[in-house]
């Protein structure tokens, strides 16, 4: 796991690398070693049976060694980018990024003749594994510009950063799935980026499926994967170092989930991040109703995820705060009198959905939300220009127009506007229900 400090330093200059893209001509013998590892059995791994679409997976890490075992033909050398001063994304002095990339490539394909994945190295951390919020955010935006479908973040830090959350929101809006390690500090302290919204946070388990002691727990953990003694590609092959090395932690577990996501995208490239997240979470091996803070829905099952029917498309994301909602199509625009929306709320990463409702002064809004799975839903109406990332009683008194927090799966609000503007109607899961993944139906009507 590479470390992320709480406060971002100034932006580090970009260093671009433009080596040609390599294509494997024959089966790499190292792949046989990587695909024989015992952890693959616990996730029901199977190799790719037929040529599929190629999924671009961005590895934001310490770099990816271009000559590493098992990665020949799988590295997008032309697009490699460094956000570390004097760095080179195709050289990995720490080895962490190469190990992560090897895991992803193994899960995503398993043979050299049927690739199915292109690893995009984006170096955001130095030889000591240190990075910054600015580098991480810049790396995310670069990966989106290179048409990555999955971004792997095997990093951790204790502080929330708005620039990181904004970058993740933009990636989600662009149709990119962001996968992050939950962290290696153990306990229940929030670790970022795993605790950000719209991130698929991954916990780590051992060979018996038990959580690792160092795997950070919490409501943000969506799913789990093996993380103990994972063998993968070594970074120092070119200088005579070992071809493989073994590492432990949630970094490895996150890489496994990124590989599973790549497999799903290769078969169904038009799915949204929310749909892929749902398929991965639904494949977990925990019995229904027995979710936990260390493993989420349980250890991922690749075969089950691949065979799963594509979930119903969600409302446009991200839409879980007023500023994001305002740039999406409104529920009720000026001149309209009614609207409805279907969506899904998912655990920590997407507890609430917001939608814009335009009201003239004197108009009355009546809105109702119904939620599935016997979940408890609340309904709030925020005044125009309500800011983001703020909570508390003082904030609510200033910006909340009306709220309904009764127990039950149906909630209704009514409000007569005192001034015209774009109000924001919010559907939110009650605190006790944050580990369910219900769908909802929101209906609203405006009258004089």
Q: Known catalytic residues?
A: 61, 96, 251
Packing angle between helix 250-267 and helix 96-108, nearest 10 degrees? 40
Q: What is the 3-state secondary structure (H, E, C) of the chain?
A: CEECCCCCCCCCCCEECCCCCCCCCCCCHHHHHHCCCCHHHHCCCCCCCCCCCCEEEEEEECCCCCCCCCCCCCECCCCCEECCCCCCCCCCCCCHHHHHHHHHHHHHCCCCCCCCEEEEEEECCCCCCECCHHHHHHHHHHHHHCCCCEEEECEEECCCCHHHHHHHHHHHHCCCEEEEECCCCCCCCCCECCCCCCCEEEEEECCCCCECCCCCCCCCEEEEEECCCEEEECCCHHHCCCCEEEECCHHHHHHHHHHHHHHHHHHCCCCCHHHHHHHHHHCCCCCCCCCECCCECCECCHHHHHHCCCCCCCCCCCCCCHHHHHCCCCCECCCCCEEEEEEECECCCECEEEEEEEECCCCEEEEEEEECCCCCEEEEEECCCCCCCCCCHHHHHHHEEEEECCCCCEEEEEEECCCCEEEEEEEEECHHHCCCCCEEEEEEEEEC
User: In terms of Cα–Cα distance, which of 153, 203, 148, 157 is closest to 176?
Assistant: 148
């Amino acid at each position: 796991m590479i470390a992320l400090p709480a406060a971002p330093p100034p932006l580090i200059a970009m260093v671009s690398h433009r080596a040609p893209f390599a294509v494997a001509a024959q089966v790499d013998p190292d792949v046989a070693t990587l695909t024989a590892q015992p952890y693959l059995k616990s996730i029901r791994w199977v190799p790719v049976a037929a040529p599929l679409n190629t999924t671009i997976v961005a590895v934001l890490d310490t770099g990816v060694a271009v000559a590493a075992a098992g990665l020949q033909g799988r590295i997008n050398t032309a697009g490699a980018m460094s956000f570390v001063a004097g760095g080179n994304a195709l050289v990995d002095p720490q080895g962490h990024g190469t190990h992560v990339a090897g895991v992803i490539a193994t899960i995503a394909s398993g043979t050299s003749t049927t690739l199915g994945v292109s690893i995009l190295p984006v170096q955001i951390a130095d030889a000591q594994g240190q990075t910054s919020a600015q580098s991480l955010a810049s790396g995310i935006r670069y990966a989106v510009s290179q048409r990555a479908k999955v971004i792997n973040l095997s990093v951790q830090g204790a502080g929330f950063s708005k620039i990181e959350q904004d970058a993740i929101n933009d990636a989600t809006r662009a149709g990119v799935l962001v996968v992050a390690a939950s962290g290696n500090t153990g306990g229940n302290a929030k670790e970022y980026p795993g605790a950000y919204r719209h991130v698929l946070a991954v916990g780590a388990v051992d060979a018996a499926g038990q959580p690792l002691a160092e795997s950070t727990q919490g409501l943000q953990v969506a799913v789990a994967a093996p993380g103990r003694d994972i063998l993968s590609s070594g970074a120092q092959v070119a200088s005579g170092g070992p071809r493989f090395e073994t590492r432990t932690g949630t970094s490895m577990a996150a890489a496994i989930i990124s590989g599973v996501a790549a497999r799903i995208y290769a078969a169904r490239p038009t799915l949204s991040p929310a749909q892929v997240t749902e398929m991965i979470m639904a494949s977990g091996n925990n019995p229904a109703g027995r979710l936990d803070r260390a493993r989420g829905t349980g250890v991922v099952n690749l075969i089950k995820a691949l065979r799963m029917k594509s979930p119903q498309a969600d409302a446009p994301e991200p839409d879980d705060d007023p500023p994001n909602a305002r740039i999406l199509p409104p529920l009720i625009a000026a001149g309209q009198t009614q609207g409805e929306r279907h969506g899904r709320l998912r655990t920590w990463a997407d507890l609430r959905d917001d939608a814009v409702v335009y009201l003239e002064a004197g108009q009355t809004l009546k809105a109702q939300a119904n939620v599935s799975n016997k979940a408890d839903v609340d309904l709030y109406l925020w005044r125009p220009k309500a800011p983001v990332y703020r909570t508390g009683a003082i904030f609510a008194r200033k910006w909340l127009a009306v709220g309904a927090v009764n127990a039950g799966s149906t909630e209704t609000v009514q409000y007569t506007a005192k001034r015209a503007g774009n109000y924001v109607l919010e559907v939110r899961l009650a605190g006790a229900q944050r580990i369910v993944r219900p769908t909802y139906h929101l209906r609203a009507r405006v009258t004089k």
